[in-house]
Amino acid sequence: MLDGRGSIRRRAGARLWLSALWLALFVLAALLAPWISPHDPLAQDLMLGRLPPAWMAGAEPGYWLGTDSLGRDVLSRIIHGARIALIVALIAGTATCLLGSTLGLVAGFYRGWADRLISRLVDIWMAFPPVLFAILLIAVLGTGLTSVILAIVIIDWTRFCRVVRAETLNQSKMDYVHSAKVAGFTRLRTLVAEILPNVLPTIIALLTLEMGIAVIVEAILSFVNLSISTDQPTWGGMIAEGRTSIHQAWWVLVFPLIALFFTVLAFAQFGDGLRERFDPVLR
């Protein structure tokens, strides 16, 4: 038998650092986009259309990952696309987390009619296919960054609510909650000062997961051309363009896909890694 625990810890450590490294690159690319991208992401040059990446025959120097059908530099568009992805991840992720976790804490701790109402709402929400719900909301709210963020929050709060409610229910049965009651803590103080810190590791792991999901939802909406204006480069938009010309220029699809793939993977693995590292039971 292998030393199970040791190998699992080492693997978890490598996973945490690799995903942190990719996320750091992602954030830097987004912040420094205007300074580090080699070309203007919107500059079209039909003479330079569908140039292959630098290591292939027929490439033009300076266009490292090639160009799309309009002659726009793929690398610069990926770097600029990281900006929208980062904004959506941070704002939509955090807002979804706040709304869902609050409702979950309230339902799990106060029980009674609040719990019945919130749980019924979750049931109703679970009856909608998320992507279809998102598309429907965008159709109603109109396209644009605010609509995309709002749609993600409206759809995905249930993910936090379900998990946080269950976790709060468990914590509420613990001895320390009884002690707090005996010590004369108010209900609100027990919830915020005693239960919340114990539910927090779960919430944080879910939050990073949700950031990855937000990036994907934005990409899906861009893919069906329902996200933000088309002159802003987005990974989903690039993928949609690349999809139509895969037989002529595969690089227009492959590189944004790789960026999206690793970003989503990194968010999920980072959350898991954090939880394993800070969960007192696993540690």
Partner 1 sequence: MMLLRQTVSRLITTLITLFGVAVIVFVVIRVVPGNPIAMMLPPGATEADIERLKTLYGLDKSIFEQFVIWFGNVLHGDFGTSISTRQPVLSLVLDRLPATLELSIIALVMAVAIGVTLAILGTRFRGRKTEAGIDVANGVGLSVPDFLWGLALILLFGVLWPVFQISGRVSPRLELPFTSQFYLFESVLRLRFDILADLLSHMFMPALALALPLAAIISQLLKQSLKETVNLDYSVLARTKGYSETKVILSEALPNSILPTLTLVGVQFTFLIGGTVIIERLLSYEGLGNMAIDAVINRDLPLIQGIVILFAILFTFVNLAVDMTYAFLNPKLRHA
Which residues pair with residue 67 across a beta bridge? Answer: 73
Rounded distance between C-alpha atoms, residue 265 and residue 216, angstroms: 11
Rounded distance between C-alpha atoms, residue 236 and residue 217, angstroms: 9
Rounded distance between C-alpha atoms, residue 80 and residue 231, angstroms: 11
Min CB(97)–partner 1 separation in Å? 18
Min CB(35)–partner 1 separation in Å? 29
Min CB(227)–partner 1 separation in Å? 13
Q: Given 3-state DSSP classes, what are the helix, strand and coil percentages for the chain, each rounded to the nearest 5?
A: 75, 0, 25
Nearer to partner 1 (CB atom), residue 33 or residue 239: 239
Rounded distance between C-alpha atoms, residue 2 and residue 21, angstroms: 29
Q: Where do contacts with partner 1 occur on this chain (CB under 8 A)?
A: 1-2, 4, 7, 11, 15, 120-121, 123-124, 126-133, 135-140, 142, 212-213, 216, 219-220, 223-226, 239, 243, 246-247, 250, 253-254, 257, 260-261, 264-265, 267-269, 272
**What residues have CB less than 8 Å from 214, skipping those under 6 apart?**
88, 89, 92, 93, 96, 152, 156
Nearer to partner 1 (CB atom), residue 95 or residue 239: 239
**What residues have CB less than 8 Å from 1, skipping those under 6 apart?**
none
Nearer to partner 1 (CB atom), residue 98 or residue 121: 121
Nearer to partner 1 (CB atom), residue 177 or residue 221: 221
Here the tokens at position 219 are 């990409």
Nearer to partner 1 (CB atom), residue 39 or residue 162: 162
Min CB(88)–partner 1 separation in Å? 15
Min CB(179)–partner 1 separation in Å? 34
Min CB(23)–partner 1 separation in Å? 13
Which residues pair with residue 73 across a beta bridge? Answer: 67
Q: Which of 104, 90, 118 is nearest to 159 (CA)?
A: 104
Nearer to partner 1 (CB atom), residue 1 or residue 182: 1
